[in-house]
Amino acid sequence: MIYLDQAATSWPKPPEVLKAMTDVLENAGGNPGRSGHRLSIAAARIIYDTREEISRFFGVSDPLRVIFTGNATHAINLALKGILKPGDHVITSSMEHNAVMRPLRNLEKRGIRLSIVQCASNGTLDAKDIGGMVASDTRLVVMAHASNVVGTLLPVAEVAAIVHQAGALLLVDVAQTAGIIPMDMTAMGIDLLAFTGHKELQGPPGIGGLVIADHIDIAQIDPLICGGTGSRSESEEQPDDLPDKFESGTANLAGIAGLGAGLRWLKDRGIEEICAHLKTLSRMLIDGLSAFPEVKIYGTLDLARSIAVVSFTVAGRHVSEIGFRLDEEYGVLSRVGLHCAPAAHKTIGSFPEGTVRLAPGVFTTTDDIRLAIRAIGRVIRS
Amino acid sequence: MTLHGVILFHTTSSVLRAEKRLIKEGFATRLVPTPRQFSSDCGIALRFDWNDHERITSMLGEEKVEFDAIHFLDANPV
Ligand SMILES: Cc1ncc(COP(=O)(O)O)c(C=O)c1O
């Protein structure tokens, strides 16, 4: 089997991740922050240490500014719904995942003005186009770091400069890039960063987070969910302390432990090396597919401007048939259709049919790619 | 006999953050259940050697480590 659906979720997970998850449930099973006994403290330490690793990973100095959530979707909802008020203006790109689009459409019904900046058909965004949309009531700009459909990178640092000039905030969805591109929130000018644990960060599903830059005043962010935190228990009001203000309810201890192990594993492997490996695989995929005249590949096809996510269609053929036959006949697992990103498919011109998406990961080998290309050749020629 | 003090915090995360900083500065500290004579928001507190109390107080202040209160622990076991 050749798993080329790493953009949906990474698989397999490093054995260290599975071990950390079973270890924590076996040996540190208390409710973190709720009691003072050793099992509760052991659990709280694992959570704190993971917070610290994440803060270092993304370049914020205070670990308490890492807010754990269930996934990127939850983190994006927390940021958007916590900050935007009726009358506010928000800007996003036309390459967004529904994790961004749907909460924005939902907010639009509640009196928030939404502008969507049109990206080029290869998925690129011209930062100046954001500049043209910024108005005095613009509160926030939200965008992906890279498209989950074509892998095109968006110009985060350039957009940040424009956004900050206008006194607005920048929220970046790094679901597709965290773990494969070294990232420093401060250098990139990101105010709020939403990540998910189960993709290239190598963690399990069900854990993600919102990282709030050191300079952001948290008074401007309302909690999405209120409830028990183990702190200030005498009060019926939600506490203002970080991270408790945004983290009600018992934490996903096993998920956090697994994510911590994933981050340590990534550090050992080296993100730069992973990045180089993925570029090699991406090059092979693009070159291999380009050899078939009936195949159309979407995106920039430029490795300096994209991550290893390759989308294609085949003239006269349904993407679902291609995906099904690759799986059934050759054990090559892809993802076909709209990839939860209808706006992105409209932008690249593949709506409503969608594309076949191939996304290799850190465990994918060059042999895997050779076999996958051969399989694709056979499927499209028969 | 060592005399101890305790630092109380609002949240578990802030206790753990302070513990790491104190350990880094070479202070002997220990997480303990919050002594029952002090009401505190969170179940754990940071115990330290009372001889260090001035240095610790100024360090927490300088580094802007948030805490709730610092108390002397008398010899009575808690
Ligand atoms: C760009 C992008 N944003 C957000 C998400 C949502 O991630 P999750 O489902 O883990 O919340 C994904 C993955 O599906 C994605 O690719």
pLDDT in 10s for each residue of chain A, 382 residues: 999 999 999 999 999 999 999 999 998 877 887 777 888 888 999 999 999 999 999 999 999 999 999 999 999 999 999 999 999 999 999 999 999 999 999 999 999 999 999 999 999 999 999 999 999 999 999 999 999 999 999 999 999 999 999 999 999 999 999 999 999 999 999 999 999 999 999 999 999 999 999 999 999 999 999 998 888 878 899 999 999 999 999 999 999 999 999 999 999 999 999 999 999 999 999 999 999 999 999 999 999 999 999 999 999 999 999 999 999 999 999 999 999 999 999 999 999 999 999 999 999 999 999 999 999 999 999 8
Task: Closest CB to B33: pick one of A33, A36, A239.
Answer: A36
Q: Output the CATH code of domain A2-10+270-380.
A: 3.90.1150.10
Q: Across-strand partners of A140?
A: A90, A169
Q: Across-strand partners of A306?
A: A152
Return the best residue to mutate from A77, A78, A125, A340 for the ligand 1 pocket (most ligand atoms within 8 A of CB): A340
Q: Give residue A233's pLDDT.
A: 79
Q: Give residue A39's pLDDT.
A: 87
CA distances from A147 to A93, A239, A275, A299, B27 (A): 10, 36, 16, 9, 48
ipTM of the complex: 0.82
Does the pLDDT at position B77 exceed 60?
no
Q: Give the type of residue at A116.
A: I
* Interchain pair B11, A33: CB under 8 A: yes
CATH topology for the A15-268 domain = Aspartate Aminotransferase; domain 2 (3.40.640)
Q: Give residue B78's pLDDT.
A: 43
Residues of chain A neighbouring B12 (CB-CB closer than 8 A): 32-33, 44, 48, 230-231
Give the number of other CB atoms < 10 A from CB of residue A249. Answer: 10
Structure tokens at A64: 């308490």
**Domain spans of chain A?**
2-10+270-380, 15-268
Q: Across-strand partners of B48?
A: B5, B29
Helical segments of chain A, H only = 15-27, 38-58, 72-83, 98-108, 127-131, 156-165, 185-188, 253-269, 271-290, 319-330, 342-348, 366-380
pLDDT class for B40, splitting at 50, 70, 90? low
Give the number of other CB atoms < 10 A from CB of residue A226. Answer: 15
Q: Give residue B61's pLDDT.
A: 86
Give the span between the Cα atoms of A235 and A174, in whole angstroms: 36
The protein residue with its alpha carbon nearest to ligand 1, atom 15, reads A175
Task: Closest CB to B12: pick one of A32, A37, A63.
Answer: A32
* Interchain pair A242, B42: CB under 8 A: no
- Ordered by where they begin, the domains of chain B are 4-73 (3.30.70)
